[in-house]
Chain A
């Protein structure tokens, strides 16, 4: 048993603590500056969204009641009291942008949540079982991907008699799953040929157990990347729908709604669209940077 003792020592030299594959990915992510900027922006976005009531100095939906019914605060440029200025109704644009982060993030997360459930379920079943089920699911994916994303979203929103943010969740969720399903399907198809899947089968593991415990954990990396990029896409789509009047409805402070109301004043009061526009740009850019960084960090072939 001398060899065994030697082996143990060898292992000790390799590592003092356990290194999960996630730990390694985090180390790679930390080295990527752009990804860290993305992570920073995303974190700020999250904090702003969660603590909106604390951060925002004014009510985002209603202007303060002014004596004598005068709307003195209407259409003010940026100032110390109103860093982003006020809109026509005298509402503080800074507060509205802060609350807008809430809506945007909620849209991003909820739609991607729906997409995750649909995409993983359909993709995993198609990839694992193959055959007719696979052909049916693949066909459905093709059909969904054949429509331009925003046009499809408009079409679905048009079905509802009254647009609103809750319908945006549903519409975007229903059309965001195909790319995810396609990726999961491909991953499952390659992973199911791995020897450890065969090992699990020889142990008597059920299909459900194999998919949940072996296949999905090993395809998490591309899923995470797709979902992250999907959040950014959904934020952009919501802004687009709201701008067209088919998404979030006023007085809810969605960034898209703010752009829509601001466009009337684009010549005289351009600051009204600067700030929501910048917010959309920075949020989407930040999340995309994070997504790209995650892709590099999670890809095991990129090991340096």
Chain B
């Protein structure tokens, strides 16, 4: 196997629900419920799934913006959930995040230069003239003129703001960037620009991306491998072409069938999933997808399918993968 920059083992994040007179924990929301995957150095791993399936929580737990309930996230062999405060700070230089909403993720009271320069201050990377120079360089890298360094975020468009966010993430020279739906708030034409920028930066700087999204065509474009999440679990993980051409999980298949095709003549088979996503407070027994799965049988209600190889480097968790073909 290639060099794994990130190894995730049995990662869980449960949010407690407190109730009753004594505010005891009565239940929990199982936002992330046992993830196992690796991220290879220099690749882009796409993470897709419906709203509320735990994609964003996964991103935050990967960076330890949230503490994991269980399991480990190993960055270059070290479990980041066991780091002390000081080591965690230096980890922030290695792993960064690009946020979904470019309007909310920039402090409205800070100028662009202050926003992009803040990580340099925090980690004492550059001061004075050197810092100015570095900020200019970063803005240049993301295609913004340094002329606008003294402007405030509200003077920029969504795409430009997202570029500022990218420049901020790049300031510390990170290895891994978790991108939490970085383009879903942008116009389609701007999406392409930002995606292209991110690809250029990846080539230039050798970045590793974890790209969280719900837009399957965007994910297919940018990712090397894709993981599909359903109710806090990864149900399928494979090379992108493999996954898009021969899905091994009925959920993936249903998702793919919902991608709009820009050709009115072409007829295609659409799989309509019945019902809603079950509550992550009380996930269904066995295979969590059995309530909506067209292939479900009794075994699916009782036994949780193993997340295993169904093809070369193609993992899926389903009892009836064979039936799909």
Distance A275 CA – B107 CA, assembled complex (angstroms):
48
Contact A20 B160 (CB under 8 A): no
Q: Do A196 and B104 form a contact, CB below 8 Å, given A18-B150, A18-B155, A209-B122?
A: yes
**In the assembled complex, A3 has its CB within 8 A of some CB on chain B:** yes
Query: Is B80 an interface residue, CB under 8 A from the partner?
Result: no
Task: Tell whether B97 is near chain A: CB-to-CB under 8 Å.
Answer: yes
B119 close to chain A: CB less than 8 A:
yes
Within 8 A of B (CB), among A171-216: 194-196, 198-206, 209, 213-214
Instruction: Determine whether the beta carbon of B160 is less than 8 Å from that of A199.
Output: no
CA distance A11 to B150 in the complex (A): 13
What is the bound-complex CA distance between A19 and B159, given in angstroms? 20
The reply to whether the CB of A161 lies closer than 8 angstroms to some CB of chain B is no
Could you say which of B32-40, B88-96, B228-236 contacts chain A? B88-96
CB neighbours (8 Å) of A209 from chain B are 122
Whether B109 lies near A205 (C-beta < 8 A) is no
Once the chains are docked, how many angstroms separate the CA of A205 from the CA of B93? Answer: 11
The reply on B207 being an interface residue by CB < 8 A is no
Whether B99 is near chain A, meaning CB under 8 Å from some CB there, is yes
Given contacts A7-B159, A202-B97, contact A196 B150 (CB under 8 A): no
Contact A203 B152 (CB under 8 A): no
Q: How many residues on chain A are close to B (CB under 8 Å)?
A: 31
B152 touches A18 (CB 8 A): yes
The residue in chain A whose Cβ has the minimal distance to the Cβ of B98 is A199
Interface residues of A in 89-106 (CB under 8 A from B): none
- Is A68 close to B, CB under 8 A? no
Q: Are B148 and A21 in contact (CB under 8 A)?
A: no
User: With the chains together, A226 CA to B165 CA distance in Å?
Assistant: 33
13 A-B pairs with C-beta separation under 8 A: A4-B144, A11-B151, A18-B152, A21-B109, A196-B105, A198-B60, A198-B105, A199-B168, A204-B91, A204-B119, A205-B118, A217-B107, A217-B110
**Further 12 A-B residue pairs, CB within 8 A, beyond A11-B160, A194-B104:** A15-B155, A18-B155, A21-B109, A195-B104, A196-B106, A196-B107, A198-B60, A199-B99, A209-B122, A213-B107, A218-B109, A220-B109
